[in-house]
């Protein structure tokens, strides 16, 4: 009997192998059907199917972790505070009255009203006209201005950040918040669980002892086993007393000031706004707080009338899986297609969808001055190679591409026609366009745009202009790496 068992073992294992293979094939087919049924873009659909076929087992796990489409599932809701603020009514009223506003007919904004109307419709982003805007270059300027505003807080301080670390700058922030909380100021903090994975629990507990409240955005206990790792809160918002707001690319961590061992210099852009735009940022924070804590911040003290007379026009636009439309991507697209003279872009990750890529190439081919600044080093090698994969066709279309050589340029800015600009958290990539929670400030003002353009050209002095004939002579292996990364770019 024992001899018979030994003789049949090969058949047994062969049958087991056949069963496992059959189950796997069925799983791949079923997953492919699910992907196709989600009616995504053809590029993204084919990319996921290729991953399933070419990367056995791991491809399925990768899809389960990164491939789920929350926007279609509508699991996020902005009900509650959005109803309280009456954004539907406000945006509809502003749309109907827009033509009567005298500032809309100023030469620098008149041909950009299409962007205003778009954002009123696709994200209920109210156009605010009583604002003072200050550009903040790099971490030193951002934290100096932010800490100064916090120290003057009388009622509340609200923070919402993708990355919050308990390092030196985090501890300095914590000390200020503890002091203000002890004075009776209400402090609330939202942090993303994936982005803030280095945040120490001891830091949180110490601040909580002083009445400071925390909300963790979509906690992830086992990242490899959850779909939540894919849809993260990438926003960077600070609001003080509803009167002063901060938004841009700078998180709360030491390397946003000093860089680190791999990145010797960190270049970034943030902005401070006083006035109605700060209230618009407050609405976004309060909406996210309600989603996480089911606490409605509806006291009018959170939404004060402005005390300033400055007249800068600003639209604060948020997008994410809770949005019906990819609002920020559509704003980028529209601003590029409306360009009459120039489009200048600085982005750390350039992985555009077909719409943005076509808009940029069409603008350049029609005679618009298009300049794009990308980093020479990055905090993500794979994404960096994906970015480089687009350079060749940009150059062929007549777009000037610059590579920043001083360090890592993390700025996320766009300037169009010396009249319109955007500063925010959204990168020029698929993830920012459709998967992450983002927020941008769209500014319709020649003075602010000119200042941002000045700093853009200062960055170009620390950059290298790429020439097509030299670019095509790159090592074959570098081209291969970029092409492989390009195939996966819709998934990044």
pLDDT digits (tens, 9 = 90+) for 289-337: 999 999 999 899 999 999 999 999 999 999 988 788 999 999 999 999 9
Higher pLDDT, 264 or 222: 264
Name the percent of the chain lying above pLDDT 70: 76
Give CA separation, 9 vs 1, 5, 20, 22, 252, in Å: 13, 6, 16, 20, 60
pLDDT at res. 225: 45
- What is the set of active-site residues? 234, 236, 241, 410, 412, 417
**CA-to-CA distance for 440 and 438, rounded, in angstroms?**
7
For the chain, what is the mean pLDDT?
86
Q: How does pLDDT run across 365-376, given as a tens digit for each residue?
A: 999 999 999 999
Give CA separation, 384 vs 210, 245, 312, 369, 481, in Å: 42, 31, 36, 24, 10
Q: Categorize the per-residue pLDDT at 75 as very low, low, confident or very high, splitting at 50, 70 and 90.
A: very low
Q: Which residues contact 376 (CB under 8 A, 6 or more apart)?
A: 403, 404, 405, 463, 464
Higher pLDDT, 281 or 92: 281
pTM for the structure as a whole: 0.85
Mean pLDDT, rounded, for 195-208? 96
Same fold for the pair 132-310 and 327-491: yes
Say whether pLDDT at 397 is over 70: yes
Domain ranges of the chain: 2-67, 132-310, 327-491
**CA-to-CA distance for 428 and 423, rounded, in angstroms?**
12
pLDDT at res. 323: 82
Q: Categorize the per-residue pLDDT at 338 as very low, low, confident or very high, splitting at 50, 70 and 90.
A: very high
The tally of CA atoms less than 13 A away on the side-chain side of residue 269 is 29
CATH for 327-491 is: 3.30.870.10
Question: Which tokens hold the place of 75?
Answer: 């699991």
φ/ψ (deg, to 5) at 475: -55, 145
pLDDT at res. 79: 46
Q: How does pLDDT run across 460-485, given as a tens digit for each residue?
A: 999 999 999 999 998 889 888 888 88
Higher pLDDT, 84 or 424: 424
Say whether pLDDT at 9 is over 50: no
Report, at the CATH architecture level, how domain 132-310 is classified. Answer: 2-Layer Sandwich (3.30)
Q: How does pLDDT run across 21-56, given as a tens digit for each residue?
A: 666 566 657 656 655 665 555 656 656 556 656 556
């Amino acid at each position: 009997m024992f001899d018979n068992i030994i003789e049949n073992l090969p058949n047994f294992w062969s049958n087991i192998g056949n069963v496992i293979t059959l189950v796997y094939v069925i799983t791949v087919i079923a997953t492919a059907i699910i992907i196709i049924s989600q009616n995504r873009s053809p590029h993204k659909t084919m990319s996921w199917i290729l991953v399933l076929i070419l990367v056995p087992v791991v491809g399925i796990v990768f899809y389960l972790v990164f491939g789920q489409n929350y926007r279609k599932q509508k699991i996020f809701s902005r009900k509650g505070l959005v109803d309280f603020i009456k954004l539907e009514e406000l945006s509809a009223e502003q749309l109907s009255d827009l033509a009567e506003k005298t500032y809309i007919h100023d030469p620098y904004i008149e041909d950009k009203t299409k962007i205003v109307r778009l954002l009123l419709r696709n994200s209920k982003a109210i156009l605010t006209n009583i604002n003072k805007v200050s550009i903040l270059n790099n971490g030193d300027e951002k934290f100096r201005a932010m800490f100064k505003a916090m120290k003057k807080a009388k009622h509340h301080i609200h923070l919402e950040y993708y990355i919050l670390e308990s390092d030196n700058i985090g501890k300095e922030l914590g000390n200020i918040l503890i002091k203000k909380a002890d004075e009776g100021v209400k402090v609330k903090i939202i942090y993303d669980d994936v982005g803030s994975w280095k945040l120490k629990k001891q830091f949180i507990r110490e601040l909580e002892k002083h009445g400071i409240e925390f909300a963790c955005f979509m906690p992830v206990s086992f990242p490899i086993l959850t779909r939540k790792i894919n849809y993260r809160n990438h926003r960077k918002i600070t609001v003080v007393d509803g009167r002063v707001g901060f938004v841009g690319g700078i998180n709360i961590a030491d390397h946003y000031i000093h860089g680190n061992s791999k990145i010797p210099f960190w270049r970034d852009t943030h902005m401070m706004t006083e006035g109605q735009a700060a209230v618009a940022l407050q609405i976004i924070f309060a909406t996210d707080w309600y989603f996480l804590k089911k606490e409605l911040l509806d006291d009018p003290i959170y939404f004060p009338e402005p005390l300033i007379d400055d007249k800068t026009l600003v639209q604060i636009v948020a997008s994410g899986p809770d949005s019906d439309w990819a609002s920020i991507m559509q704003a980028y697209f529209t601003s590029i297609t409306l360009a009459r003279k120039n489009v200048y872009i600085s982005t750390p990750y350039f992985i555009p969808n077909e719409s943005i890529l076509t808009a940029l190439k069409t603008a350049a081919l029609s005679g618009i001055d298009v300049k794009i600044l990308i980093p020479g080093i990055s905090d993500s090698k794979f994404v960096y190679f994906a970015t480089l994969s687009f350079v060749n066709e940009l150059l062929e279309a007549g777009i000037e591409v610059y590579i920043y050589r001083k360090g890592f340029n993390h700025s996320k800015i766009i300037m169009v026609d010396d009249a319109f600009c955007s500063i925010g958290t959204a990168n020029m990539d698929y993830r920012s366009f459709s998967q992450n929670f983002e927020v941008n400030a769209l500014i319709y003002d020649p003075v602010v745009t000119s200042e941002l353009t000045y700093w853009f050209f200062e960055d170009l002095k620390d950059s290298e202009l790429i020439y097509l004939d030299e670019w095509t002579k790159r090592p074959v292996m570098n081209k291969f790496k970029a092409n492989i990364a390009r195939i996966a770019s819709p998934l990044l």
